[in-house]
Chain A
Amino acid sequence: MSKVLIVDDEPAIRQLFQYVFEDEGYEVSTASNGLEALQALAVGAVDLIILDVSMPEMDGRDFVQELTRRAARTPWLAEIPIIVMTGENFMESGLNQVFAAAKGFVCFFPKMTPPELVLEKARASAAR
């Protein structure tokens, strides 16, 4: 069974994606910011990360950078596919590049993309 980690500070979004992925047979864990996500990854590996950009404590960008740093010692961390969900429109191209440079980066989705499309992408990237 594939494992997915949903990282978003908005409970309603976590709840929605948890339900959608569980309904599809995924095993779901959630985190409300980057720090919690790192803690979750320390406990066990996942097959996919759904990642929000702006979050308190540690945002998506810092999380991705930290993940890349940790991958030097724990290589599989860099292999996890990451789907980035964002409410921002990417005006700041620098931010864009931080995500795109990550090894596991799959794609950006604007917030409130229909969950079906996210699922489709998730299936494709898990099969990668």
Chain B
Amino acid sequence: MLWRGLSSPMVRAAAGIKNFIAGGYKLAEPLPKEGWPESRGLLSSINRVLLELNAYHAFQINQAIEERAKAQALLETITDGVLLVDDRGQLIHSNRRALELLGLHGQGPVQLPDSVTKPEFVQPLRELLASEEKNTRSDLSAAIEADGESVERNFRLISRQFQLATLKRPGRVVIIRDVTIEKEIEGARETFFHMITHDMRAPICSIQGYTELMQKEPVAQPNTGKYLDAIMRSSDRLKGMVEDILNTIKMERGQMALKPVAIDAGELCGRMVELHQPLAARRNIIFSAPPLAARIRFEGDLPLLERIIANLVGNALKFVPAGGAVSLACRTRGKDLLFSVADTGPGIPEGLREDVFRKHYQMDEHKHMGFGLGLAMCKMAVELHGGHIWADARAGGGAVFTFTIPLLEAADV
């Protein structure tokens, strides 16, 4: 009797709990409170625990649905396309804009870039997904439909790696941004800049021409010669800047054609030293070029090469403190001719030695010192010659900039 009063409610309770678990934490009916007072109390407590679990479960699901809806609402208001992709290229989440841009149809699993039907995006996405970089960025242009018409737009793909908490794997957030307007503004700005710079050439030539004429005249006042030299040096610098800007634009547009002439490397170095000696002397910097072991003749675009060396030497003279030294050296190495400019300045931190060649890049401490164009121009001009340029640390402190020019048929010259 006692046994049955306790055991049969317990058997039913056990079955009820089993059903609760099997039914996905849903309790159709509370367990009946029956049997002895002790078992009724226990059943009541069990019921409360089960109902709380049930309610908690429902609450969690509602919360999750709500959070998802919030996130989606945010995502849909962004005008960029946004994608979340796992490390195998499977699409995890996206907004409608991304699906439209890539021509994806959200039915079933979407594999990137294979499912993408907009051909222009396929290769950039493939590269981005294969990249080991934490952050990537690439630009492309694609034809998209707008108001029933096909228009060419520029897009920027920006991606960032993130850790998928649930999968314990890295995934990527990819943003597809329409940068057409930015590109147009940038283009207009460059054209404007180009125009102004171009128009500065003639007055500079005129200043230089008349200065040269005056330098040939008998000196009227004791200081006149000094003043004229200063005018000449400054207008030379201005002319160099203008040439750099125009060269950069031409090279960027692929409109620069090299005009190779036979050049004597020793003479070139000597001329560059002569040109920069006055500035070095004024700053109390020793600027020298060790004589070449042998006569080296090669082919290259002389005005461009002069601008490259002038930029490297000019930079060195800018950053080396008084009492320091700058040297320009030239030697052959295999089929290359190597020019290097070494200085005893502060040097360039290892992590920045590639960045300094980027257009408009300037090290934080050198902000407001020029356009950040010189080294970018050097890189383009060297590469146009088929050579390379790089920055190193100088043994004993300072920086060394080296560039190579291939010695093509130099032997025959």
Contact = CB atoms under 8 A, between A and B. Distances in A.
Chain B, interface residues (CB within 8 Å), range: 10 to 19
Nearest to A20: B48
Given A19-B30, A87-B62, A12 B54 contact: yes
B19 to A, nearest CB: 15
B44 interface: yes
A52 to B, nearest CB: 11
B66 to A, nearest CB: 8
Interface string B46-82: 0110011011111100110010000000000000000
A33 B181 CA distance: 50
Interface in B311-334: none
A42 interface: no
Given A19-B30, A87-B63, A12 B48 contact: no
Interface string B26-42: 11001000000000000
A19 B47 CA distance: 8
Given A10-B59, A87-B59, A115 B54 contact: no
Contacts of A112: 55-56, 59
B59 A115 contact: no
Contacts of B44: 23
A70 interface: no
A69 interface: no
A87 B357 CA distance: 55
A23 B102 CA distance: 58
A127 B118 CA distance: 70
A13 interface: yes
B55 A16 contact: yes
Contacts of A114: 52
A121 B244 CA distance: 79
A111 interface: yes
Interface string A37-75: 000000000000000000000000000000000000000
A15 interface: yes
B21 to A, nearest CB: 15
Nearest to A54: B66
Nearest to A10: B58
Interface string B331-364: 0000000000000000000000000000000000
B48 A13 contact: no
B47 A15 contact: no
Contacts of B57: 12
Contact of A115 (B30, B48, B66): B48
Contacts of B54: 12, 15-16
Contacts of A19: 30, 47-48, 51
A3 B54 CA distance: 24
Contacts of A87: 59, 62-63, 66
B62 A16 contact: no
A12 B63 contact: no
B59 A111 contact: yes
Interface in A1-48: 10-13, 15-16, 19-20, 23
A2 B57 CA distance: 29
Nearest to A23: B44
A19 B51 CA distance: 8
A62 to B, nearest CB: 19
A115 B48 CA distance: 9
A12 to B, nearest CB: 4
Given A19-B30, A87-B63, A115-B52, A13 B58 contact: yes
A112 B26 CA distance: 17
A10 B54 CA distance: 11
Interface of B: 26-27, 30, 44, 47-48, 51-52, 54-59, 62-63, 66
Which 8 A-B residue pairs are closest in the complex by CB-CB distance?
A: A12-B58, A16-B51, A16-B55, A12-B55, A12-B54, A13-B55, A19-B51, A10-B58
20 contacts: A10-B55, A12-B26, A12-B54, A12-B55, A12-B59, A13-B59, A15-B51, A15-B54, A16-B48, A16-B51, A16-B52, A16-B55, A19-B47, A19-B48, A19-B51, A23-B44, A23-B47, A87-B62, A112-B55, A112-B59
Given A10-B55, A16-B54, A112-B55, 13 more contacts: A10-B58, A12-B51, A12-B57, A12-B58, A13-B58, A15-B27, A15-B51, A16-B51, A16-B52, A20-B48, A20-B51, A87-B62, A115-B48
